[in-house]
Amino acid sequence: MSYAQVYSQWQQDPEGFWLSAAGGIDWVKKPTKALSADRAPLYEWFTDATVNTCWNAVDRHVVAGRGKQPAIIHDSPVTGTKHVITYAELQDRVARLAGALKAKGVTKGDRVIIYMPMVPEALEAMLACGRIGAIHSVVFGGFAAHELAVRIDDCTPKAIIAASCGIEPSRVVHYKPLLDAAIEQATHKPDFCVIFQREQEVAKLVPGRDVAWHEFQYGVTPADCEPVEGNHPAYILYTSGTTGAPKGVVRPTAGHLVALNWTMRAIYNCGAGDVFWAASDVGWVVGHSYICYAPLIAGCTTIVYEGKPVGTPDAAAFWRVIGEHKVRSFFTAPTALRAIKRDDPEGKLVPKLPTLQALFLAGERADPDTIQWAQRHLNVPVIDHWWQTETGYAIAANPFGIEHLPVKIGSPSVPMPGYDVQVLDEGGHPVSPGTLGAIAVKLPLPPGTLPTLWNAEDRFRKSYLDHFPGYYETGDAGYIDADGYLYIMARTDDVINVAGHRLSTGAMEEVLASHKDVAECAVIGVADDLKGQSPLGFLCLNKGSNRPHDEVVKECVQLVRDQIGPVADFKRAVVVDRLPKTRSGKILRGTMVKIADGQPWKMPATIDDPVILDEITTALQSLGLAKA
């Protein structure tokens, strides 16, 4: 069938389409209906089914006779180790960990925070939670203690599973002191913490609260897979919104299984026995969906890579992994390829990669130079696809496993079944092809997408549903061309994308505003050749503050690193007298971005005092920005 036929099949009978896709999953109790719409515009899928995620990702492959197949390959250039875990071993390890959690009182619906680097134990912890119906929330290792504390207070975990350390090329990341500080800061206290001690750093355990990974599991009865209802939350993943408080995206169990399983063939063209690699981190949605769940649900071998695209040891690292482990489909962020291209512009380090069938890019806009470089040197289709933490898988893609459609560089191609994507004007009316507007998806969203935000249904409605009734507001702006190809141009909110990481400028502003000398501030994302965007702060100091500006800037940079974490990559700020505002007091961030990036801009009609923009331009020029 062609893409057009598959999409039209879904349009004609959405529920039939997803019930048929549900055939790829092992159910304890099969769903008799797909969609529950009684609380519209809040929707749920497969609510009358019961199922277990871990069974589908692990046990069923052992039962099917593939116990000896590698499930996980850990390839860790930062520690100089490689390690294979078969499906049978994975089943054993996960069942034991789940048994240990159960023995300590973790039961269905309890939350468990996972704070770990790129080690197989992170996936095992996720799967062990799924095995007993506990809801995990993985926190990315590049976040500081404060961000971890915020998540602890929001999802109130019974347990936290953490590693003693992570390894960045330049340093050891001391997870345990960050964890201790986070628990100290948080109001909610977990009952216990399980610490995976790595040989690079053995952490000091808090007696009575912390228990070491192996000791924790010693002598326990392995746990069986416990059935949960289709709409039971599999996990909560926090993502950046407009304010400092992260949004807890809820992932429903059954829809997640059905949809991810469908994407593995339709989009990535992979099935049981194939090696699939997403070079991301388990702390992000790409890591949840395509390092852990989807490849395992489909019976593939997944690679857990603990390294960087460059510097571990060089720009050939990705190609070594692909060649050595015979990767069939490879997924990464454009920023990683830009880093490789910068070190190897001629592609001299790219060998022949006979097993590789396609490269998939997502997480940020894929710029044409990067796509063309990859096409030229890898000699395989390069497929940009667009998605969000909220959806958990691609909204738009080139469905490589169904039909490789003509590529239009700059476009993540066409909507996937399940998504009726429309571009709307401010009044909520669809615009004509080629016209820029807010990108929205007609409700209901397909299975696996967020049904709500954790403990925050009002915020869910306000953030996504209220602005355009009947639609899910994506927060992205763009257009659809006459052939139905989608183009994602910018965010409509204050979210920026730094090195494929989604960050909130609002959160950074909250931190800067807490500095004693800062009266007012703004953070914008300026264009960056490597990272796509880079955050930049504007600081207005309190009257009477006579501190040297560079001292305040240095303290502010440190403050963001301490409060949000190194991942914010906040390294630049500048002191200005005033911020440009509209007469109603709204800061003109968009205009500042255009000036910083040297793009054409118009004097906003509503500006309070145009002279301020001259001051801003001068400040930006002092940083080497705002070049015409």
Site of interaction with ligand COA (CB under 6 A): 117, 141-142, 166, 168, 173, 279-281, 284, 286, 308-310, 333, 335-336, 339, 362-363, 499-501, 530, 566-567, 569
Residue number with CB closer to ligand COA (459 or 571): 571
CA–CA gap between residue 259 and residue 464 (Å, rounded): 21
Q: Using CB under 6 A, which residues numbered 165 to 204 contact ligand AMP? A: none
DSSP structural state of residue 81: E
Q: Does 384 bind ligand AMP (CB under 6 A)?
A: yes
CB-hemisphere CA count at 13 Å for 368?
Answer: 5
Q: Does 445 bind ligand AMP (CB under 6 A)?
A: no
Q: Does 252 bind ligand AMP (CB under 6 A)?
A: no
- In this structure, are residues 319 and 350 in contact, taking their beta carbons and an 8 Å threshold? yes
Residue number with CB closer to ligand AMP (157 or 475): 475
Residue number with CB closer to ligand AMP (192 or 331): 331
Q: Which does 99 bind (CB under 5 to 8 A by kind): ligand AMP, ligand COA, none?
A: none
Structure tokens at 494: 């204050």
Q: Using CB under 6 A, which residues numbered 397 to 416 contact ligand AMP? A: 412
Q: Does 247 bind ligand AMP (CB under 6 A)?
A: no
With tokens 């349009």, the residue in question is 11
SS3 554: helix
Q: Quote the least distance from Cβ 268 to ligand AMP, whole Å.
A: 15
Q: Which amino acid is at 296?
A: L
Q: Which does 339 bind (CB under 5 to 8 A by kind): ligand COA, ligand AMP, none?
A: ligand COA
| 3-class SS string, 370-409 | HHHHHHHHHCCCEEECECCCCCCCCCEECCCCCCCCCCCC
Q: Quote the least distance from Cβ 395 to ligand AMP, whole Å.
A: 9
Q: Quote the least distance from Cβ 309 to ligand COA, whole Å.
A: 5
Q: Quote the least distance from Cβ 600 to ligand COA, whole Å.
A: 29
Structure tokens at 169: 């090329």
Residue number with CB closer to ligand COA (284 or 487): 284
Cα–Cα–Cα angle for 414, 415, 416, rounded to 5 degrees? 115
Residue number with CB closer to ligand AMP (47 or 389): 389
CA–CA gap between residue 83 and residue 414 (Å, rounded): 38
DSSP structural state of residue 566: G
| CA 213 vs CA 89, 113, 180, 193, 194: distances in Å | 17, 15, 17, 9, 6
Structure tokens at 204: 């000091």
CA–CA gap between residue 52 and residue 108 (Å, rounded): 11
Q: Using CB under 6 A, which residues numbered 280 to 339 contact ligand AMP? A: 285
Q: Which does 502 bind (CB under 5 to 8 A by kind): ligand AMP, ligand COA, none?
A: ligand AMP
CA–CA gap between residue 151 and residue 238 (Å, rounded): 8
CA–CA gap between residue 116 and residue 203 (Å, rounded): 13
Handedness of CA 320, 325, 327, 331 (dihedral sign): negative
- Figure out which of the listed residues 36, 47, 239, 370 binds ligand AMP, where binding follows CB under 6 A: 239
Report the Cα 283 to chain-centroid distance in Å.
7
Q: Which does 173 bind (CB under 5 to 8 A by kind): ligand COA, ligand AMP, none?
A: ligand COA
Q: Does 498 bind ligand AMP (CB under 6 A)?
A: no
Q: Which does 217 bind (CB under 5 to 8 A by kind): ligand AMP, ligand COA, none?
A: none
Residue number with CB closer to ligand AMP (180 or 364): 364
Residue number with CB closer to ligand COA (362 or 541): 362
Which residues contact ligand AMP by CB under 6 A?
239, 285, 362-366, 384-389, 412, 475-476, 488, 491, 497, 502
